[in-house]
């Protein structure tokens, strides 16, 4: 069965067991693996590495596109195979090791990793391991449900291991558009001017001599972990949809809006889902990951085209998508993450970007990554690429977490991923803060009044009032600025049990 | 004399006094004025506005390219003319009003202001006031020593006031390259692929009917306020030059490096100055502002071309430059700041960017703007545009300020302008921290050991050690993270007078 998928006959000899292929990876190496938001990860070699690590020292630097599925990061972390990890992850076990300082995690803008690799600024990839649906007659690699950094890993690595996944339909061939920017200083403009345009090849064009091993697999991607919409996410979607409607009526947006980007996760997915019943039409997406909502928007006819670097779906939508590929062929393209997230393209297209905040402060700075300012959740991912270059940068969050013990609106964020310059709109279930053209003191009024949970508004107002007396562009009481986080750390609630005045040390 | 500079005869009727021209500007209007880093500001109308404000209510939103010279921001602030100000300033009086909350200051990435204007996301410009050396036969405006946002202001405003500056030599004609990106969603790639390329017109092409008034002036730009190199800045330049030499020997850079950008100010100017005696050659600059060091580098032959949005020089170098324009004509171009700072171009060219930090934290986050986390100094300017999209993003600072009472290396910055993702290298007079490919805990070792003043190293190490025990990707003691700033605020020194342990509340 796999022979029709390896169309360059001399490569048939390269088919080996996962253990044999994994033998190419030695202690201390840098390995670039496919996989982006749980899609298109290689599903055999990582487990062979974990098995081998039981009997010999094996510690590697692991680079990927973004997060992996199939518990790969978990298994590799448990087996102590990962010494360094970049540029993103979302696994609980690995996260624990990162926060314990046992794994060095380099959290990067997703557009930047291969730029640094290409210029030799980070250690070169020794071996690339890439999931594919097929190898072409010329030895080109046809990726599966994600591109991520696979194309650059395969181009830059000395050796390439291909995992042919028989569970991925051959119909995926043709969905990819592989383009590499030329080396600096000879780089030309990237010719992409709209979400639906193709500028590259439908496969990764490498010298077939570099393909050192081929492993056959038949495992599925892990399903998306996004939760279904709930009352809160529906309210967030409603506020945003209403706001966009006002922008259309004011002549600042057309009814087709601007190309949409939405970060991975429950809230973004729910917000996009909410557009199914909106008055907007002929929408396009230019995003890094497509979730269930994208497929639903395509099916509804509301969305005409979607560009991304991966497709991460719940089990039923995944089955539906793979069984109906012909329906999506002309309306969906998968690109390298360097292109899906490239500042040049993003600034040119002018996206409406929707990303999730862990917490926002009253001036509109956003923390997307570090719980309590210290503990890594997943990583910044592509949110910086998108928010900085957006036409309209939206951040969404529920106003509270942990049953109200955490306020997502705080006096000062404990870690900054996105500065106020890159945040145009904040939305919670309570309302929307339109921060465009406002100075920080004006932003504070919008954020507190429109977005904070009513239970925290008085305390925020009190903080802002007392801080303003000390003056400044962004008034703060430095002794108190992070006290909400300290209180949560020590008392498991940000709620005050003493009057505010007593806090002002 | 001015008649040869107004080459469209019917515009000669438009020449009026500054007071008459300023009459076009009414209370509540948004005014876009030329001027970028003290260069090419309009020098008559602002003072006429200040005079008028003495006798009638006159409050405006003032947009510029960047900072103004000739005390314009001071005089307008004193006369209470400025209600809102964007996107940058550097005047002491205005700063005081901003920090008192009396002027709403919208601090923006310098590439973004006209993008927001063009899409109607901020209030439209009612009147543009632009300094020029001449008006062409077709009514095109030839700017003087800066372009900044002048071209877009003039294109987008309903009325334009031109200030013809007779002190600016006509030889400046031809130094400008005016290009506007096309409206989204029809935007094409910006065709610029090297610092020296021209892609636009040598004048601002507007409908001459929009020129509502012309004012004649003969005042000079204010000289640069950069100080000459000293021992500390020479050491910083030395560390950076040595590092770049190692990069060349490692094959990661050519001896012509990559195009250079340097922020405005004493340290950046001194660092560039230090390149005169370096082994690098055929250097190019793609920057937003050119200081004395650029002219010296051009004169020395070390630099072959410089592109920017303005020229801001000390008095003697300014005189030398204007008296010898022919020598620079083929080696210098001035562009709109949207192009000098455009993420598309910056990412394509791959710059080495050198910007000044107010303070850095042990993980490499940088504060460039807010003293003590609250009080605005100048603004983020173009540093975010450049650092985010750099090939190599360098931040420079002296390790201490105020005679050692302030450490520029702190546990946690009190305000974040540049996250650790956008900071590759930090240099102080003590040494250089190469942070590429390092996780935060590794970055801390580099920053503390190589960059901090020895007097603060033990305390920083102690903080980092105690914080690391609590775990995290970026370990912090939240109670103590901003205590250095509190101590400076209250005791005018960051030095500890009590043992560290007592601090950990």
Q: What number is the ipTM of this complex?
A: 0.96
* A419 vs B: CB within 8 A: yes
* B470/A374 CB distance under 8 A: yes
Looking at chain A from residue 342 to 361, which residues have their Cβ under 8 Å from any Cβ of chain B? 342-344, 347-350
pLDDT of residue B498: 56
pLDDT of residue A138: 94
Residue A501 pLDDT greater than 70, yes or no:
no
* A370 vs B: CB within 8 A: yes
CA atoms of B336 and B110, how far apart (whole Å): 10
pLDDT of residue B497: 75
* A394 vs B: CB within 8 A: no
* A189 vs B: CB within 8 A: yes
* A183 vs B: CB within 8 A: no
Instruction: With beta carbons under 8 A apart, name residues in chain A contacting B185.
Output: 194, 258-259, 349-350
Residue A281's CB: how many other CB atoms inside 10 A?
14
Q: How confident is the model at residue A496 (pLDDT cuts 50, 70, 90)?
A: confident
Q: What is the 3-state secondary structure (H, E, C) of B161-222?
A: EEEEECCCCHHHCCCECECCCCCCCCCCCCCCCCCCCCCCECCECCCHHHEEEEEEECCCCC
Instruction: With beta carbons under 8 A apart, name residues in chain A contacting B473.
Output: 98-99, 105, 107, 370, 374-376
Which spans in A250-353 are helix H? 266-274, 292-300, 315-323, 325-328, 337-340, 343-349
Is residue A432 a contact partner of residue A247, using CB atoms and an 8 Å limit?
Answer: no
pLDDT of residue A505: 38
Question: How far out from the chain centre does Cα B22 lie?
Answer: 28
Nearest-neighbour CA in chain A from B25: distance (Å)? 21
pLDDT of residue B317: 96
* A82 vs B: CB within 8 A: no
- H/E run at residue A332: strand A332-334
CA atoms of B428 and B408, how far apart (whole Å): 9
Place of tokens 């009997």: A55
Residue range B412-427: average pLDDT? 98
Instruction: With beta carbons under 8 A apart, name residues in chain A contacting B351.
Output: none
pLDDT of residue A5: 98
Helices (H) and strands (E) in chain B, counts: 17, 25
Residue A223's CB: how many other CB atoms inside 10 A?
17
Residue range A252-265: average pLDDT? 96
* B123 vs A: CB within 8 A: yes
CA atoms of B477 and A486, how far apart (whole Å): 9
pLDDT of residue B327: 97
CA atoms of B291 and B270, how far apart (whole Å): 10
Nearest chain A residue (CA) to B116: A391
* A473/B193 CB distance under 8 A: no
Buried b (16+ CB within 10 A) or exposed e, B467-485: beeeebbbbbbbbbbbbbb
Nearest chain A residue (CA) to B476: A374
Distances (CA, A) of A393 to A170, A262, A281, A421: 37, 10, 20, 10
Q: What's the pLDDT tens digit per position in B14-38?
A: 999 999 999 999 999 999 999 999 9
pLDDT of residue B225: 85
Of B375, B470, B476, the CB nearest to A471: B375
* A342/B342 CB distance under 8 A: no
| DSSP for residue A187 | P
Helix, strand, or coil here: A298?
helix
Is residue B486 a contact partner of residue A479, using CB atoms and an 8 Å limit?
Answer: yes
Our CA angle for A413, A417, A422, nearest 5°, is: 100
What single string gives the DSSP state of each residue in B427-478?
A: EETTEEEE-TT--HHHHHHHHHHHHS-HHHHHHHHHHHHHHHHH--SS---T
Q: What's the pLDDT tens digit per position in A167-185?
A: 999 999 999 999 999 989 9
Place of tokens 């917490």: A359
Residue B290's CB: how many other CB atoms inside 10 A?
31
* B438 vs A: CB within 8 A: yes
Residue B502 pLDDT greater than 60, yes or no:
no
CA atoms of B55 and B171, how far apart (whole Å): 40
Is residue B192 a contact partner of residue B335, using CB atoms and an 8 Å limit?
Answer: no
Q: What's the pLDDT tens digit per position in B114-165?
A: 999 999 999 999 999 999 999 999 999 999 999 999 999 999 999 999 999 9
* A189/B187 CB distance under 8 A: no
pTM passes above 0.95: yes
Q: What's the pLDDT tens digit per position in B218-256?
A: 999 999 988 888 999 999 999 999 999 999 999 999 999
Residue B334 pLDDT greater than 70, yes or no:
yes
Of A106, A365, A375, the CB nearest to B438: A106
Residue B488 pLDDT greater than 60, yes or no:
yes
Share of chain B above pLDDT 90, in %: 96
* B437/A188 CB distance under 8 A: no
Of A99, A181, A436, the CB nearest to B473: A99
- H/E run at residue A333: strand A332-334
* A116/B436 CB distance under 8 A: yes
Please give the mean pLDDT across all residues of chain B. 96
- Rounded to 10 degrees, the C-alpha dihedral A82/A87/A93/A99 comes to 100
* B382 vs A: CB within 8 A: no
Residue range A111-138: average pLDDT? 97
Strands (E), B341-430: 352-356, 359-361, 366-367, 370-371, 375-376, 392-396, 400-401, 406-407, 409-410, 425-428
Nearest-neighbour CA in chain B from A465: distance (Å)? 12
CA atoms of A331 and B64, how far apart (whole Å): 43
Sign, CA dihedral B78-B382-B273-B410, equals: positive
Q: How confident is the model at residue B504 (pLDDT cuts 50, 70, 90)?
A: very low
Q: Is the peptide bond before B185 cis (omega within 30 degrees of 0)?
A: yes
* B117 vs A: CB within 8 A: no
* B105/A473 CB distance under 8 A: yes
Give the active site residues of A: 288
Give the residue numbers of the binding site of B for CoA: 378, 382, 402
CA atoms of A40 and A147, how far apart (whole Å): 8
Distances (CA, A) of A316 to A223, A271, A272, A292, B231: 9, 20, 18, 9, 67
Strands (E), A40-195: 60-63, 82-86, 104-105, 127-135, 141-143, 159-165
Place of tokens 């410089």: B306
- H/E run at residue A46: helix A45-53
What contacts A479, CB < 8 A, 6 or more positions away?
A: A504, A505, B482, B486
Give the active site residues of B: 288
* B478/A472 CB distance under 8 A: no
Is residue B493 a contact partner of residue A391, using CB atoms and an 8 Å limit?
Answer: no
Is residue A340 a contact partner of residue A287, using CB atoms and an 8 Å limit?
Answer: yes
Residue A504's CB: how many other CB atoms inside 10 A?
13
Residue A169's CB: how many other CB atoms inside 10 A?
14
What single string gives the DSSP state of each residue in B353-370?
A: EEEE-SEEETTS-EESSE
Instruction: With beta carbons under 8 A apart, name residues in chain B contacting A88.
Output: none
Work out the end-to-end distance of chain B between its first and last CA atoms, rounded to an integer number of angstroms.
Answer: 72
Instruction: With beta carbons under 8 A apart, name residues in chain A contacting B392.
Output: 121
* A104 vs B: CB within 8 A: yes
Q: What tokens appear for A74 in the block?
A: 């978990």
Q: What's the pLDDT tens digit per position in A341-378?
A: 999 999 999 999 999 999 999 999 999 999 999 999 99
Please give the mean pLDDT across all residues of chain A. 96
* B184 vs A: CB within 8 A: yes
Sheet holding A359-361, edge to edge: A366-367, A359-361, A409-410
> Is residue A402 marked as binding?
yes
| DSSP for residue B146 | B
pLDDT of residue B226: 84
CA atoms of A412 and A74, how far apart (whole Å): 33
Q: What's the pLDDT tens digit per position in B188-208?
A: 999 999 999 999 999 999 999
Q: What tokens appear for B132 in the block?
A: 């020029």
* B449 vs A: CB within 8 A: no
* A416/B414 CB distance under 8 A: no
Cβ contacts below 8 Å, chain A against chain B, sum to 231
CA atoms of B29 and B84, how far apart (whole Å): 10
- Rounded to 10 degrees, the C-alpha dihedral A25/A135/A179/A314 comes to -80
Share of chain A above pLDDT 90, in %: 96
Of B99, B421, B467, the CB nearest to A384: B421
Residue range A314-324: average pLDDT? 96
* B471/A415 CB distance under 8 A: no
Residue range A238-263: average pLDDT? 97
Nearest chain A residue (CA) to B442: A104
Q: Mutation target for A interface from B110, B256, B348, B360: give the one with most A CBs within 10 A.
A: B348
Nearest-neighbour CA in chain A from B188: distance (Å)? 6
Distances (CA, A) of B186 to A343, B181, B200, B229: 17, 10, 18, 47
* B468/A373 CB distance under 8 A: no
> Is residue A378 marked as binding?
yes
Q: Is the peptide bond before A87 cis (omega within 30 degrees of 0)?
A: yes
Nearest chain A residue (CA) to B415: A416
* B479/A468 CB distance under 8 A: no
Picking from A131-145, A372-386, B61-75, B491-505, which range would have the lowest pLDDT averaged per residue? B491-505
Residue range B431-460: average pLDDT? 98
Give the residue numbers of the binding site of B: 378, 382, 402
Instruction: With beta carbons under 8 A apart, name residues in chain B contacting A189.
Output: 189-191, 193, 344, 348
Nearest-neighbour CA in chain B from A174: distance (Å)? 26
Nearest chain B residue (CA) to A187: B348
pLDDT of residue A504: 45
Nearest chain B residue (CA) to A190: B189
What single string gives the DSSP state of each residue in A104-121?
A: EE----TTTHHHHHHTTS
Residue range B360-377: average pLDDT? 98
* A481 vs B: CB within 8 A: yes
| DSSP for residue A454 | H
pLDDT of residue B505: 38
Is residue A392 a contact partner of residue A359, using CB atoms and an 8 Å limit?
Answer: no
CA atoms of A270 and A228, how far apart (whole Å): 7
Our CA angle for A316, A353, B180, nearest 5°, is: 140
């Amino acid at each position: 069965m796999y022979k029709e998928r390896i169309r360059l006959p001399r490569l048939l000899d390269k088919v080996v067991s996962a253990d044999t292929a994994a033998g190419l990876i030695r202690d201390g190496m840098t390995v670039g693996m496919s996989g982006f938001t749980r899609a298109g990860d290689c599903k055999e070699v990582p487990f062979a590495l974990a098995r081998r690590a039981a009997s010999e020292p094996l510690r590697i630097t692991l680079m990927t596109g973004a997060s992996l599925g199939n518990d790969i990061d978990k298994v590799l972390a448990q087996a102590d195979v990962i010494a360094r990890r970049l540029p993103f992850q979302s696994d609980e076990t690995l996260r624990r090791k990162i926060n314990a300082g046992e794994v060095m995690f380099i959290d990067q803008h997703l557009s930047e990793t291969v730029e640094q690799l290409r210029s030799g600024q980070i250690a070169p990839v020794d071996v690339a391991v890439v999931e594919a649906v097929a190898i072409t007659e010329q030895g080109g690699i046809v990726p599966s449900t994600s591109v991520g950094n696979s194309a650059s890993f395969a181009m830059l690595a000395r050796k390439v291991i291909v995992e042919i996944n028989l569970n991925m339909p051959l119909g995926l061939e043709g969905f990819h558009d592989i383009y590499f920017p030329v080396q600096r200083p000879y780089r030309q403009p990237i010719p992409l001017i709209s979400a639906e345009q193709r500028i590259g090849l439908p496969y990764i064009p490498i010298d077939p001599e570099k393909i050192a091993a081929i492993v056959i697999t038949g495992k599925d991607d892990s399903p998306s972990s996004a939760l279904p919409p709930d009352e809160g996410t529906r309210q967030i979607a409603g506020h945003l949809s209403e706001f966009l409607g006002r922008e259309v009526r004011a002549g600042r947006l057309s009814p087709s809006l601007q190309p949409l980007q939405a970060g991975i996760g429950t809230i973004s997915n729910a917000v996009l889902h909410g557009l199914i019943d909106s008055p907007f039409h002929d929408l396009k997406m230019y995003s890094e990951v497509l979730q269930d909502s994208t497929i639903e928007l395509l099916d509804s006819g509301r969305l005409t085209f979607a560009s991304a670097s991966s497709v991460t779906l719940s089990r039923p939508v995944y089955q539906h998508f793979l069984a109906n590929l012909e329906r999506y062929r002309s309306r969906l393209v998968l690109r390298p993450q360097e292109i899906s997230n490239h500042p040049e393209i993003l600034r040119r297209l002018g996206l409406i970007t929707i990303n999730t905040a862990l917490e926002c402060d009253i001036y509109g700075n956003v923390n997307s990554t570090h719980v309590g300012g210290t503990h890594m959740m997943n990583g910044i991912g592509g949110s910086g690429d998108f928010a900085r270059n957006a036409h309209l940068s939206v951040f969404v969050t529920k106003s509270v977490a942990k049953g109200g013990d955490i306020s997502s609106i705080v006096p000062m964020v404990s870690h900054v991923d996105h500065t106020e310059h890159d945040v145009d709109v904040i939305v919670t279930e309570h309302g929307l803060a339109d921060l465009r053209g406002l100075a920080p003191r004006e932003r504070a009024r919008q954020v507190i009044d429109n977005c904070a949970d009513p239970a925290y508004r008085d305390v925020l107002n009190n903080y802002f009032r007392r801080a303003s007396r000390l003056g400044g562009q962004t008034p703060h009481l430095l002794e108190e600025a992070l006290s909400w986080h300290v209180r949560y750390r020590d008392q498991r609630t940000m709620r005050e049990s003493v009057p505010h005045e007593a806090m002002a040390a």
